[in-house]
Structure 1
Amino acid sequence: MKAITITAIGGPDVLQLDERPEPKVKEGEVKIKVKAFGLNRADIYYRSGNMGTTEIGRIPGIEAVGELVADPSGTFSLGQKVVTVMGGMMLARDGGYAEYVTAPLNNVLAIDSDIAFPLLASLPQSYLTIWGALDLNLHIQSGESLLVRGATSAAGLAAVTYAKARGLTVIATTRDTTRQKRLKELGADYVLIDDGVIAEQVRSIFPDGVDKAIEVVGAATLKDSMQAIKNRGEVVVIGLLGGSTTLEQFNLLGDLPNSVKLSFFGSGTLGSQDTPPLNDSPLNWIAQQVHLGRMPDITVEVFPFESIRKAHAHMEDNRAFGKRVVTI
């Protein structure tokens, strides 16, 4: 089979199109003929040696969509449209940058929609992470207000579009004034230019603060985000776009507002015992909403398999914001 492998630690040029044996499916796994896959920042971090130990020769990728071709358990039907996400892909086993991939049963979800594979490939990692953050951690409800800090990332865009589809009022942030219009088009009710301190701007719109916030930037803006939350509101952290994992000089009495809840959701728990089954997620509903045009498409670029280096270069350069997809 054709596969993309990592030949060394480095930039996009270390990605190479190779011929590899098709993976053999084991008990508790399925085998998928990959049609497309989404790109993620984790792919860059792993390739460049900034995500634990990079195994040379590894096939990267933490998500894929395609058709099921083998399932010893009989859980799925052959030829069924499926998505897979996490389950040790890339970090502990070969990932989705290949014509075929095997995945644990718990990390595979059947898709009923007629949605096209390239469009479907923009959904799994981003929207399942947002399901975990907004539904499992924040328990969002229609009519609430939500601050999306770092809205131009793929996860941030998924948060904006999903929250809006669920009936929330959404405040999105970006550091780039040229991205305000697109965020509004994707559903944001308000867009704030983020200079690192926006709590006062948020409270000029919601004097008591917002009900909930999802923090994609991380430690760099977390303290300020918490100051924008109303009494008994909640904040969930899902990303570290700002780079730092450490809150410097964090004062529990001054920086953590009284009664505000703070939590973290990591997508690495998807498909594990720590998270409800993927069948409980709204991904099938989201896929159908996107397919019918009732939710916007967050895809920004689609690349052929042979252009994987170009795709990685574009993602690193931040030339446009949105989800990048590769088709096979």
Structure 2
Amino acid sequence: MRAVVLDRPGGVEELHLRTLPLPEPRPGWVRIAVEAFGLNRSELHTRLGLAEGVSFPRVLGIEAVGTVDLDPDGVLAPGGRVATMMGGMGRTYDGGYAEYVVVPRAQVIPFESSLPWETLGALPETLQTAYGSLTVGLDLQAGQTLLIRGGTSALGLTATTLAKDVGATVLATTRNPDRLTGLTEHGVDHPLVDDGRVARQVREVFPDGVDAGLELVGTPTLPDTLAATRVHGTVCFTGMLSNEWLVHDFYPISYLPRGVRLAAYGGEADDLPAAVFQRHVDRIASGDLAPGPVHVYALDDIRTAHDDLEHNRRPGKLVVRTR
């Protein structure tokens, strides 16, 4: 099979497309014929040497979609459509940047859909993270206001879709004024240009602040997101588009605005119920939901795709087709 191998951390030149032996699943594991996989900041962090607990050489990729190729236990039938994510993929064992991947059956989500593989490839990890952030991290309710910091990212756009579905009012940021229209078209009620002082803009619309904030940029913008949130409101730290996630010399009383709560979210495959994934897929197929921008690359173009990811050149999700 063809696979993208990272021998050691570094630039995109360290990503090598190679031919590897077909991996064999042991009991409790499943081999998936990968049709598409999404690119994530997690894999960028691994390539840049920022991730912990990774051994090299390693096939990257924390998610994939495709069909069951072999289940040695006979639980999953060959040919069934499945998604998989997390659980050590691309870190402690080889991941989805390949024509085949072997993963524990417990992190396989079966589904049915005739959507294009590139559309499906954009969904698993992004949907899991957005769903968990809004439910576990924020407990977002109908009628509440939500600020999404990093709104044109794939995660930001999916969070907008889910928040609007709940019945929330959404404010979302972009550093690029040319992307404001895209946010509006995606359903954002109040698109904002991130000038570093978003809290001031938010309180011009909602003087008491928003009920909830979803922080996807990282620690450089977290204090401003907290300042945009009302007393007894909650900010969920989920993403780090800035590649910065540590708060140095953290003193809670001076860092946190009085009465504002700070939570965090990170999840696994079993945090995304199969019924939620299937419903989301079905609603995209029916036209009820917009999947957001998806930019598709061939496996041979993995270096270009990673370079675009690193430099935030494209809004939405970057997806690689393997076949």
Shorter-chain TM-score bucket reads over 0.9
Q: Which residue of 2 aligns with 1:308?
A: 302
Cα separation, 1, equivalents of 2:56 and 2:85: 22
Question: In the alignment, residue 198 of structure 1 is paired with which amino acid?
Answer: V
Q: Deviations over 1:126-182 (max 9, x none)?
A: 110111111122122222211101112221122122212332211001111111111
Task: Give aligned pairs, total.
Answer: 322
Q: Deviations over 1:247-284 (max 9, x none)?
A: 356553344234322111124xx04xxxx553366222
Q: Which residue of 1 aligns with 2:139?
A: 139
Contact kept in structure 2, 1:8 and 1:14, CA below 8 Å: yes
Report SS of the residue matched to 2:220. Answer: helix
Q: Which residue of 2 aligns with 1:51?
A: 51
Question: In the alignment, residue 307 of structure 2 is paired with which amino acid?
Answer: A
Change (3 A) 1:75 1:208: farther
Q: Which moved more, 1:120-129 or 1:102-111?
A: 102-111
Question: In the alignment, residue 222 of structure 1 is paired with which amino acid?
Answer: L
Matched, 1:148 2:142: no
Q: Which residue of 2 aligns with 1:93?
A: 93
Question: In the alignment, residue 183 of structure 1 is paired with which amino acid?
Answer: L
Question: In the alignment, residue 313 of structure 2 is paired with which amino acid?
Answer: R
Aligned counterpart in structure 2 of residue 291 of structure 1, from 275, 285, 288: 285
Question: In the alignment, residue 298 of structure 1 is paired with which amino acid?
Answer: G
Q: Which residue of 2 aligns with 1:13?
A: 13
Change (3 A) 1:248 1:94: closer
Matched, 1:278 2:272: yes
Q: 1:7 Cα shift?
A: 3.6
Contact kept in structure 2, 1:119 and 1:299, CA below 8 Å: no
Report SS of the residue matched to 2:263. Answer: strand
Contact kept in structure 1, 2:232 and 2:260, CA below 8 Å: yes
Q: Which moved more, 1:58-67 or 1:99-108?
A: 99-108
Matched, 1:263 2:271: no
Question: In the alignment, residue 152 of structure 2 is paired with which amino acid?
Answer: T
Q: Which residue of 1 aligns with 2:252?
A: 252
Contact kept in structure 2, 1:131 and 1:281, CA below 8 Å: no
Matched, 1:38 2:38: yes
Cα separation, 2, equivalents of 1:53 and 1:141: 37
Aligned 1:149-164 pairs, distance under 5 A: 149-164=149-164
Q: Percent identity?
A: 40
Runs of 4+ that moved beyond 6 A: none
Contact kept in structure 2, 1:36 and 1:65, CA below 8 Å: yes
Change (3 A) 1:221 1:24: same
Question: In the alignment, residue 191 of structure 1 is paired with which amino acid?
Answer: P
Q: Which moved more, 1:147-156 or 1:32-41?
A: 147-156
Q: Which residue of 2 aligns with 1:327?
A: 321
Q: Which residue of 2 aligns with 1:242?
A: 242
Contact kept in structure 2, 1:160 and 1:170, CA below 8 Å: yes
Q: 1:14 Cα shift?
A: 1.9
Report SS of the residue matched to 1:282. Answer: helix
Q: Which residue of 2 aligns with 1:211?
A: 211
Question: In the alignment, residue 284 of structure 1 is paired with which amino acid?
Answer: Q
Contact kept in structure 2, 1:165 and 1:295, CA below 8 Å: no
Change (3 A) 1:327 1:219: same
Report SS of the residue matched to 1:9. Answer: coil
Cα separation, 2, equivalents of 1:298 and 1:21: 36
Q: Which residue of 1 aligns with 2:185?
A: 185
Matched, 1:114 2:114: yes
Report SS of the residue matched to 1:101. Answer: strand
TM-score (norm 1): 0.91
Question: In the alignment, residue 23 of structure 1 is paired with which amino acid?
Answer: P
Q: Which residue of 2 aligns with 1:165?
A: 165
Q: 1:223 Cα shift?
A: 1.8
Cα separation, 2, equivalents of 1:255 and 1:277: 30
Cα separation, 1, equivalents of 2:291 and 2:35: 18
Q: Deviations over 1:186-206 (max 9, x none)?
A: 111111111222212112212
Q: Deviations over 1:92-140 (max 9, x none)?
A: 0001011110111221111123222110000111110111111122122
TM-score (norm 2): 0.93
